[in-house]
Amino acid sequence: MIYLQVTFGSLQTLDIRGHENINNLWCHKIPPGFFSKLIELNINKCGSIRSLFSSSMVRNLVNLKTLSIRNCNEIVKVIGDDEENVCENSQLIFPSLEELWLRSLPNLVNFCGWRCALQLSSLSNINIYDCPRMESFTMGSMTTPKLERLDVENCKGIEEVFFNVNKYDGKCHVTFPELKNLSLTCLPNLTTFYKGIESIEFPLLTDMYTSCPNLTGFATSSVAGHSDDSFHLFCNQKVTFGSLKKLNIGGYENISNLWCHQIPPTGFFNKLEELYIYHCGRIRSLFSSSIAVNLVNLKKLEIWFCNEMVKVIGDDEENVCENSQVMFPSLERLFLISLPNLVNCCGWRCALQLPSLTDIEIYKCPRMESFTMRSLSTPSLNSIKIDFEGKDVEDLNRAVQLYFRGKEVHMDVMQIIMKHTLVNR
């Protein structure tokens, strides 16, 4: 424990590690100015600490920019309770904090353990990893106007990342004005990104990686009354992704639709350049034509391990027309990998235009019959690989048909030979 008799007037960097038997690093009541010049604080392998700061100590950390807490087995909350100061209307401010790292903390429940207003006005990066008992980041309200990157991974207990303390305020709108990178992975119990709000906006978000099998929405109200068969994860007018360029979606084995068929016509994912879909077991088609119209900047599309997918572009009930046209003007690379029920890429008789497509790879799609059911234009195609075999780029449709028909003929011949062998034994 650091006592009041010891003074560190100019300390800027403090690295504390290996104090496995100490319950408190400092006393709860800290005099004004104590650690006021501290810029970086690293806590590692301090196994008996249950909380790191009291609210009175937080008030001294006016210049703290980096806080890293790792491998502390007993810590339950970073900011604990002051017996005399706990008040639900309190406000805690880290005015200079820019980076926060919480890693391998097996008993951490949340960052702030009581209902206060937490202001992190300079925070740009939050990284949370391997905190299996974490329930949410804080129990009260929070302000992070400069947050640019948020990574939450391998936290089995977390049900919501953020929580609006005024959960009955149905008109609450939240904006992450500077958030550019969002990664939510290996969070099996996460159901809501921000609980207790009406709508949410990510105006600058460019990269999103999400693998949370029970995630039902980014705002609480967006999931009211949903069912597994009708739920659309990324289709809600109260959730806005204005600048998304890269989207990685995986592990949604129980969801049949990632987005609804009728997408708002103005700007839905129109900046998206890369889309990766994997282990979404109940999806039978990925796009409708109305979604395809919005993907004018999509350059790369990869679909992996979606066992029920029959076609990539499905039918719009209102828009199906044999004379219609679907175009992906910017698509350059297409990968269809381990899709055991895929029949074709476009499942209805439209003209499919892929003017920028240069590379396509198809692997382990045994039921595929053709690439599309009608005309296909691929003037820039340079490479076709089917099950690692290079194919003639002159006609993609014909290459797919000949390859899979050849496999069917081969299988038929093998079955005849086997039957003949058995009969003559």
The pLDDT of residue 27 is above 80: no
Mean pLDDT across the chain, nearest whole number?
Answer: 83
60-69, 108-117, 360-369, 379-388: the lowest-pLDDT one = 108-117
pLDDT digits (tens, 9 = 90+) for 186-226: 999 998 899 888 888 999 999 999 999 988 888 875 444 44
Report residue 215 as tokens: 């995630």
pLDDT of residue 68: 98
The pLDDT of residue 257 is above 90: no
- Per-residue confidence band for 417, with pLDDT thresholds at 50, 70 and 90: very low
The CA-atom distances, in angstroms, between 130 and each of 51, 133, 156, 371 are 18, 9, 8, 43
The pLDDT of residue 320 is above 60: no
Cβ atoms 173, 199 nearer than 8 A: yes
Cβ atoms 123, 94 nearer than 8 A: yes
The pLDDT of residue 8 is above 90: no
The pLDDT of residue 410 is above 50: no
Cβ atoms 337, 310 nearer than 8 A: no
The pLDDT of residue 321 is above 90: no
Report residue 364 as tokens: 């382990």
The pLDDT of residue 319 is above 70: no
The pLDDT of residue 227 is above 50: no
Cα–Cα–Cα angle for 261, 263, 268, rounded to 5 degrees = 135
- Per-residue confidence band for 289, with pLDDT thresholds at 50, 70 and 90: confident
pLDDT of residue 87: 57
The pLDDT of residue 413 is above 70: no
pLDDT of residue 411: 43
Decide which of 358 and 325 is more confident: 358
Instruction: Name the one residue in this structure whose structure tokens are 């504390």.
Output: 16
Residue boundaries of the structural domains of the chain: 1-147
Predicted TM-score (pTM) of the model is 0.87
173-187, 233-247, 289-303, 349-363: the lowest-pLDDT one = 233-247
pLDDT of residue 416: 33
Decide which of 62 and 425 is more confident: 62
- Per-residue confidence band for 39, with pLDDT thresholds at 50, 70 and 90: very high
pLDDT of residue 392: 76
Q: At residue 294, what are phi and psi to the nearest 5 degrees?
A: -80, -20
Instruction: Name the one residue in this structure whose structure tokens are 């100019």.
Output: 10
Cβ atoms 6, 34 nearer than 8 A: no
Torsion sign, CA atoms 335, 340, 342, 343: positive
